[in-house]
Chain A
């Protein structure tokens, strides 16, 4: 019950707690078996509910269909819509058939075979695995192995339920298609026996269907075409909860094999996003309820790197690489050098993060340097994946059919090549004794962020932003300036994480000066992107990808400038070591990288699969993520500043802990919203990637059936 209380607290009492901030103590919430099971069951029920809702529509249409067929409406009424729906071609075939019949003066009776139909017991299938609710109080239930067994059991039940629902969904669909088949037979029967009088009506219908203007009444006879795709006619608007956005067009020229591997990059990335942020969310809860569990594998210090590494190497890196596999061949106008390597790279990276997460939870890490917590053999697997990708991209660029190398490929290929160097510098042991480790750490962690994530993502924006705005990038030269300035300045800023430390003073100063130099590439980049928007701002209204781009670009400017501000020596007094830096890293890695990746993914997948996610859920995803991020970072920045000031004033350290508690609570609330948005994102991914169930078209089947009998008659 405490578990539920905590969730309620997180959702409701944030503002109330602010009032008595100074007296706050950590919550004494503990995850005991009861709350664990209740939580687990709640999640299960939620999952099942979501799944049930997805196929409720199907069940409903099945039932109405069934009722219609078994009702007592006369055939003329029953098939009215079907007859109305006949296309001109179908009518032609029908008339042809009728004439044949007349000619032969022969009537063939189709035997009517009733197909036994039994409604599957839908209700039974939906039973949730509500089990062992009363498994409390007795001490045997608190034994580790028993708990594990119960959880495993519940997992099995959940899996069973999911499989069952999928099976039921498929069987209902096939039953429905069987019904439709029967309906088609009936329709064929009806059409065969349709009297000449009705046939005349149908003929009229054909005439009206066939009637058309010459189409030259207004435009003349000169050929016209919408070659640039300027016209977008919206189909039925539906319930206007949100304004309708433009539909994507699918790209039919992409190699299906490449399309498949790209989709798997995105599926893996989404999995790591869910995994990584679930861990992150749990860590956020631990700040306000430190006793929520007491298992060594879930200890805060061990889980923190699991979170950071999973979202870095799993979500962000795989998402970027997936987009890269589309962009690099595309702008080189040449096929990808080797699709097999792309698969190997994906397997390497997934394996590396799986092993890395497990070893970190076991307590095996590289020594505590941020983002290089994986020990070297595990990072080596990741490195092999990157090396494969680098050669793949480079060879593709080398074989390009264009003279120039588009700016996206500058950024993307360089990012891979630089990160190879960064990884080697970070993991080779020759320069890591004593403070050498710290100097390398400053370089490594900041180059990983700036030369890997930022550079690569900028390359993505240089391709997808013009594509989505349907206009060229504002200035190619600004892109080039930003590229070289990024290399010159960003490479030098690593040690600004160790200002006032024992690292050589000159090195700290170089880092601070270079951080100011970062103004050049950031302003060049931001200007370039915003000027590309110029004259096309109205498109923001019509598109569901452009808002993601815009948020990413705004955070690119604010997040990067905030980084510059934080590097100054005075800022270090207030903000260094506080949660301000945590807020900063989320504003950048989440606000910039993650939002731009979502923008790219929502732009690309519909082009690959021809399927779009519902615009409503994309909107929910966007707003939950954005509001969540703001609720997460602003209180942390404010609280972090207060904490720094408290340290400067020389107040006891423990006071600064109680001071932070309300802000940590806000972080957990914002984090929860962000986490929820990822669930919605995963649903959107499912809608974009999963193939819809096959559906039988009644009219065409009926005509096909008629044609079959017609052929039979001829054979006879």
Chain B
């Protein structure tokens, strides 16, 4: 055939076909996306520190292991309250003359998704210890350590931010670990990673493939569920053995709050955080951030009250619901 024997026609047509398909499958969708999709009205802009932190996040290739996208399916529910929308990424523009836009959606979850990490783990102290060496707080972790974001020194000035590193032979007794500006910036970026609430009146889009849950509310929740919640949300600080980390996170084993009578304080801490003891890092409002109901709170309390040698009486969801209502009223009155 003449067409096949003419190099100009053959390669011309092949290239044209490829280019046309490219236009329709890549360039047009991309252009229409960036033209019509705007950031959400409440989307905050990054603070200066967080912007510097994002640059560090990019340059250290964190995206190799951490995605930043909640898919609209049931199994991704643990990473955020709603699926990520195109609007969530619309604010990203070219980094600078040399570097392209970084939406940092990622294609691997060797580590957890970080879309909403600012709500899940906002603690500055925890993040710094974790960056210095993740295995101090999560022994199973395989994340790299970032010691070059810290200074190990004997002399600490007033402006230095000292990180409490539990004694595990990583540094000598006389030395202190001081967070550099880079470490603080990176944590500032992580703290800024929160899902923007949708504008008032917009219903949350539903997750696909949702599990149909059997709803036996008033029944005592199983310890298995309590353990799962504890592992996912509490263990990073309070540890699997409930002993916490000396100098950083308090123990729950034998804790007066956990085994004592003051249920209101206990629930308040879980829902709204706690920062009353200077020797430990501040606890964030983990329950409120994640929208926990009496079911989750009761499950966690019952797990904590019956583990590691703790032997306090279990609670019911009805009890907890009362306390939650009371706490809600209290915050309203304030």
Contact = CB atoms under 8 A, between A and B. Distances in A.
B58 A367 contact: yes
A316 B234 CA distance: 47
A433 B101 contact: yes
A433 B32 CA distance: 11
Contact of B145 (A290, A377, A414, A497): A290
B179 to A, nearest CB: 16
A418 B21 CA distance: 12
Contact of A502 (B4, B59, B88): B88
Contact of A302 (B15, B27, B60, B209): B60
B56 to A, nearest CB: 8
B100 A437 contact: yes
Contacts, number: 266
Given A291-B135, A491-B18, A650-B75, A301 B99 contact: no
Contacts of A290: 134-135, 141-145
B10 A410 contact: yes
Contacts of A434: 33-34, 37, 86, 89-93, 101, 103
* Residue of A418, A451, A488 with highest tally of chain B CB at under 10 A: A418
A461 to B, nearest CB: 19
B84 A501 contact: yes
Contacts of A291: 133, 135, 145
A433 B39 CA distance: 12
Interface stretch (B64-72, B158-166, B280-288): B64-72
Contacts of A373: 61
Contacts of B10: 405, 410
Contacts of A664: 142
Contacts of A483: 14
Interface string B4-40: 1101001100110111011001110111011001000
A494 B21 CA distance: 12
A435 B100 contact: no
Interface string A422-445: 100101011111111111101110
A295 B146 CA distance: 8
Contacts of A26: 135, 140-142
Given A436-B34, A488-B21, A652-B228, A398 B7 contact: yes
Contacts of A651: 228
B128 to A, nearest CB: 16
B218 interface: no
Interface string A142-162: 000000000000000000000
B232 interface: yes
B63 interface: yes
A5 B273 CA distance: 45
Contacts of A90: none
A373 B235 CA distance: 35
A438 B60 contact: no
B61 A418 contact: no
A616 interface: no
Nearest to B71: A500
A654 B109 contact: no
Given A368-B63, A394-B7, A654-B140, A488 B29 contact: no
B241 interface: no
A304 B61 contact: yes
A578 interface: yes
Given A431-B31, A502-B88, A577-B67, A487 B14 contact: yes
Interface stretch (A66-74, A185-193, A334-342, A358-366): A358-366
B108 interface: yes
A25 B22 contact: no
A403 B1 CA distance: 10
A365 B92 CA distance: 16
* Residue of A369, A497, A510 with highest tally of chain B CB at under 10 A: A369
A488 B30 contact: no
Interface in A659-699: 661, 664
Contacts of B85: 502
A64 to B, nearest CB: 56
Interface residues of A, number: 99
Contacts of A484: 17
Contact of A435 (B33, B83, B107): B33
A435 B18 contact: no
B21 A487 contact: yes
Interface string B84-128: 111011111111001111111111111010000000000000000
Nearest to B63: A368
Nearest to A403: B5
A305 interface: yes
Interface string A391-404: 00010011010011
B73 interface: yes
A425 B26 contact: yes
A474 interface: no
B86 A435 contact: yes
Contacts of B27: 425, 431, 440
Contacts of A430: 31
B25 A296 contact: no
B299 to A, nearest CB: 13
Contact of B100 (A370, A400, A413, A432): A432
Contacts of A653: 78, 112, 232
A714 B261 CA distance: 126
Contacts of A363: 59-60
A507 interface: yes
Contacts of B22: 421-422, 425, 443, 447, 491
B171 interface: no
B171 to A, nearest CB: 13
A61 to B, nearest CB: 52
26 contacts: A290-B135, A290-B144, A291-B133, A300-B61, A363-B59, A366-B99, A369-B100, A404-B5, A405-B4, A405-B10, A433-B92, A433-B94, A433-B101, A436-B33, A437-B92, A438-B89, A438-B105, A440-B27, A440-B30, A495-B25, A502-B89, A503-B86, A573-B75, A578-B108, A651-B228, A652-B231
Minimum-distance CB pairs A-B, first 3: A301-B61, A363-B59, A436-B30
Interface of A: 25-26, 28, 286-288, 290-291, 294-296, 299-302, 304-305, 363-370, 372-373, 375-377, 394, 397-398, 400, 403-405, 410, 413-414, 417-418, 421-422, 425, 427, 429-440, 442-444, 447, 451, 480, 483-484, 487-488, 491-492, 494-495, 497-498, 500-504, 507, 510, 573, 577-579, 581-582, 647-648, 650-655, 657-658, 661, 664
